[in-house]
Structure 1
Amino acid sequence: MWFIFAAASAVCFGLRGILYQWTSQRPINRNLLLLGVYLCGTIVALAVNGFVGQAWSTGAWIGVGMGVFSFMSNASMYRGFAVGKASLVAMFTGLPPVVVVILAYLLWGEKLNIWQSLSFLVIISGILLIRYSSDISWRNLKGAGWGALAMLGFGITDLSSKQATRLGAETLPTLVLMYVTGTLLFGLAWYIGERKQAAARRLVAASADNAAIHGAADSPGFVAPETIPVPWNFMRTLLWGMVVGLTNISGMMLVMPAFKLGVTGLVSVVIAMNVVFVLFYARFVLKERFSRMEACGLTCAFIGVLILRLAG
C-alpha cells in the first residue's frame, strides 16, 4: 500500500515541477507565487481536517521544521529552473534519496543492503559526470547549485515527515503547521523584496527626472531603457500560485501515509521518480538537447535511482 501512496505522490510532484518550470519563464514574482502555493496548502489542509478531525499532538510540531526545509527546497528548485536547464535541475531534485538513506541509517539504523550500496555508487558517478560536463563549471553552474540545494532540502523534509510519523503525529495537523510556516516565510520574503523594488523604482524615477531636467533624453549619447515584459499583478500571481499549490498539497497528503507504512529510503526513492515527468517535458516539449557527458551522467544517476527502487 505504501508504494501506491508514494507513486501517486510522485505524479503530483512531477506535475508541480512542470508547472514550476513553465512559470519560472514568465514575468512573475517568485516569492508571491510560492506564497500562493503555501497559502493553498494551508487552506486545503485546514479544510480537510475540519471534516476528518485528525487529532493534534506534540509530534505535529515537526511540521514547523518541514516548513522551513520545504521553503528552502522549493525556492531553490524554482530558482534553478529559472537560471538553468530543466533536465539538470530535475535530476538533482530526483536525488533526495541519497540524503534520506544516509541520514536514516545514521539516525535510526536503517541499513543498506548490497544493491542499495551499489546504487549510491552509480548515482554519485552520475553526479560527477554532470558536474564535469563540458558546459558546467564552478563559475557557470547553470542551475546545478540550486538543484543540489533543493535536493538537500527535499531530503531533510522527507526525513522530517518520517520523524513526525514515528512520533505518532497525524498527517493533516502536521501539514497545517508546515504550510503555515512556509506561508509566513514566503510572505516575509515577498514583503522584503517589495520594499527593495520600491526603493529601486524611486531611484530610477529620480534618475529619469534628473535626465529630463538636464535634457539628457535629447542628447546624442542617450540610450533608452530596454522594454521589459509587464509583470503579473498581485492577484493573478497569488491565484496561479494557489493553482500550483494544489499539486503540492496533494503530493504531501500522500507522502506521510507512505512514510508511515514503508521504509524511509524506499519511499523516498519512489517519490523521487517524479523526475521522469519533468525529464520527458524537458526533452519533448522544451526540446532540450544533452551533451554526451551530461546525457551519460543523467542516465547513470537515473539508473542508480532505479537500482535503489528494485533493491526494495
Structure 2
Amino acid sequence: MNDETTTPVAVIGLGLMGQALAGALLEAGHPTTVWNRTATKADQLVAAGARLAPTVGDALQAASLTIICVTDYQAVHELFDASDVKPAGTTLVNLTSGDSAQARAAAQWAEQRGARYLDGAIMAIPSAIGTAEAVILHSGPQSDFEAHKSTLDALGTVTYLGADHGLASLYDVAGLAMMWSVLNGWLQGTALLRTAGVDAATYTPFARQIAAVVTEWLPGYAEQIDSGSFPAEVSALETDVRAMAHLIEESEAVGVNADLPKLIKAMADRAIAAGHGAEQYPVLIEEFGTPRDD
C-alpha cells in the first residue's frame, strides 16, 4: 500500500453523508478515525475498521487531515471551541453546508488557531460518494488542496475553485439556482401540455432537446456579460418580452399558474424601461445582480 492510501484521516460528523465519506476513505485504505455526538452511529464504520475517537480533540490528534460534515457552521464552532480541541498544525476540510460569509469567517477562525483550512461543498447524494459522479468542490489555499488531493480523490471528483474560501459555497448555490431553474421551466411546460392530454414522459424528450440547445448559448452569452456589451445577435430583449407575454397569456388561458413567467417578464420590463430593449437577453444580468426592496 503506497503513502497516498495510508494517510490517516479523521471524519467529524456521522450523519448519512459523514458515514458515506468515512466509508469511502476506509475502502480506499486510509486509516480512519471517526467521531459523532451519538457514538452508535459509528458502529458499522468501526466494524469495517474505523477507530472511534472519544472526543473531537482525540480525533484531531489522530490525523493530519480532518473532514468535517455536521449540521451547520454553528455546530462546527460549538464542537471546535471545546477546551480540549487544539487544531494547530492540522488541515481542516469543512464540507458542512453554509454560505460564503460563514466559510470566510471559519477560515479566519482556523487560521487564528494555527490550522490550515479548506472549505467545500458536496454536489452529490450519500450513495454516490466514492464514485466519479460525486462532485466535491473545494476552495482555499491551493497548496493545501494539492497536499491532500490524493486523499480527497477517494471521495469522488474533487474540484479546486480558487483561493477565496467562499467560492465553494457560492458555486454550490449557483448550481442549485441552475438546477431549480431548469426543473421549474420543465414543470411549467409540463403543466401546459397536460391541459392537452400530453403526459410528462411524452414531453420530456423535447424538453431535453431545448435544454441542450440553450446550454450551447452559454459561452457566447458569458462573453457578452464579461465584456459588458450585449449586441442583439439573435434576438432583442424587446422581442423576447413579447414571447414572454404570450407564455403568460397561454398559461392563464388554459388555467396554469403564470407566476414564474410573470416574474421574469417584470425583470425584462424593467430592463427595457432602463433603455436595454434593443440588447440581447444576457443584459438581464443587471436585474439579477441588483437586489430589490419590494
Using the size of structure 2 for normalisation, the TM-score is 0.25
Higher RCO, 1 vs 2 (CA within 8 Å, ≥6 residues apart): 1
Q: Which one has the bigger helix percentage?
A: 1
Q: Which has the larger radius of gyration?
A: 2
Using the size of structure 1 for normalisation, the TM-score is 0.24
